[in-house]
Amino acid sequence: MVEEWRSTEPDYAETATLVRELDAMKRRGSALLVVGSVPDRVRSRACEALLGTDVARRRLFVVTEDREPPLSCLPQMHRDGDHARVVEYTRPARGATATAATPLLPVPTRTVSCGRLSELGIEISESIEALDRAASGLSPAELRLCFDSLVPVLASSDEVTVFRFLHLLSHRVRSVDGMAHVHLPVESDSPVIGRLSPLFDAVIELSETETGPAQRWRLRDRNVETGWLAL
């Protein structure tokens, strides 16, 4: 989860609730929805915090946009198939033959170019299985998954199909007590957020405030919303 943060307007009861919930999510696994129309650098900053800096982590990047995932969370010595993997999802142009894309990271990369979410789900599941096997069994919160954007997926698949896909994805991550965060870089009042949010343990809204990048958490089960916390 967020390894370090501070509140711009501290509410100590609210902060204590959030800390307890973060610890519980680390133990049982979780899925988080990251929203807000913000610059890529703000998304990357939030992503790095959610991926964590601990070298013991196993990280899986699901790439749907032409945008490189954050590298700072990957120690140089752990940029290998035992510690990190990339699954790249693309849709081939009509009438074109799909070709493998150039890997976005110096780690093992699998490309799904048929445009089918079922194939993407299989590749993600197999990548998790490989990381689990390399770890001889993943510890709670050891797996960190970043899904870089739902926007291309929603543009090419109907919302019911996307909902089912996300349900299976979150279940797979929780099955190994992992932690997934899914980026949906749209305005926070977009109706699609309300329709997808029941699948997630929390919704994290990103914003660029006068004091810099900030995040606001809505915890679904506890019906708690924090104030703005600096990234």
Q: Establish if 175 belongs to a structural domain.
A: yes
In angstroms, the Cα distances linking 218 to 11, 30, 40, 169, 200 are: 15, 14, 22, 21, 10
Q: Establish if 219 belongs to a structural domain.
A: yes
Backbone φ and ψ for 4, nearest 5 degrees, come out as -140, 135
Q: Establish if 31 belongs to a structural domain.
A: yes
Residue 100 scores a pLDDT above 60? no
- Lowest-pLDDT range of 44-48, 74-78, 114-118: 74-78
Say if residues 25 and 50 touch (Cβ distance below 8 Å). Answer: no
Average confidence score pLDDT of the chain: 84
How many structural domains is the chain composed of? Answer: 1
Q: Establish if 125 belongs to a structural domain.
A: yes
Provide the pLDDT confidence category of residue 90 given band limits of 50, 70 and 90: confident
pLDDT digits (tens, 9 = 90+) for 183-221: 999 999 999 999 999 999 999 999 998 888 999 999 987
Q: Establish if 1 belongs to a structural domain.
A: no
Place of tokens 């990280």: 59
Expressed as residue numbers, the domain containing 198 is 6-230
Tell me the CATH number at 139: 3.40.50
- Lowest-pLDDT range of 46-50, 84-88, 227-231: 227-231
Coil, strand or helix: which one is 23? helix
Mean pLDDT of the 150-168 span: 95
Say if residues 86 and 103 touch (Cβ distance below 8 Å). Answer: yes
Helix (H) or strand (E) holding 158: none
- Quick one: DSSP state of residue 10? -
Sequence-distant (6+) residues with CB within 8 A of 16 are: none
Percent of the chain predicted with pLDDT > 90: 53
Determine the angle formed by the axes of helices 117-134 and 159-174, rounding to 10 degrees: 10
The most confident of 90-99, 103-112, 169-178, by mean pLDDT: 169-178
